[in-house]
Amino acid sequence: MKILLANPRGFCAGVDRAIEIVERALSKHGKPVYVRNEVVHNKFVVSDLKAKGAIFVKEIDEVPDNQVVIFSAHGVSQLVRKQAKNISSTVYDATCPLVTKVHKEVVRKQKQHNQVILIGHKGHPEVEGTLGQSSENERVLLVETIEDVDQLNVSGDASYTTQTTLSVDDTQGIVDKLKQKFPHIQAPKKDDICYATQNRQDAVKTIMHSSELLLV
């Protein structure tokens, strides 16, 4: 049997950074530390951090007062940040820098009175965090499919952004439809899809040309 290893593979820099933040917090403060949402979608990493003393929670109200709270690489909403302050937590932000860039972009575009449209998967932690950057008077519109674009009714200026971990191939059709329906829609200055994610997807495509089975 011939085994091929995809290159690149493994975690991106943002995920490595988030894991290191949890481990450093445990080293500095001792256990437990509380992490909102799984720091990365990998059960082996999560299990290892649990064994070291990390407790993963879905909501801040699951965290006792005056504890250490870590935001996962996926980022969090402004509401979650306020909740963490209310329980007087020591907070470490492990949000991926690219996700932070998207959050800042949403805020900036809303200040410019743009209707922001987010391409992403409903219910994903990163998407929930990005939607939660909205101002009280303006909400970000989420689209998952080309058909969702058909249902949009936007007046005035519009801009779009994307979940960082999407496939460029899968997203392109939605972007094309947005530009067709809203010819003046503003695109991000730089691609919001993570280049590391795209590189790994490209590596998988390449390796599957000569392989019958792929193990992830």
Query: Rounded to whole angstroms, how far apart are CA atoms 52 and 44?
Result: 13
20 Cβ contact list (under 8 Å, min separation 6)? none
Active site residue 38: no
Q: Which of 126, 136, 144, 212 is catalytic?
A: 126
Give the residue numbers marked as catalytic: 126
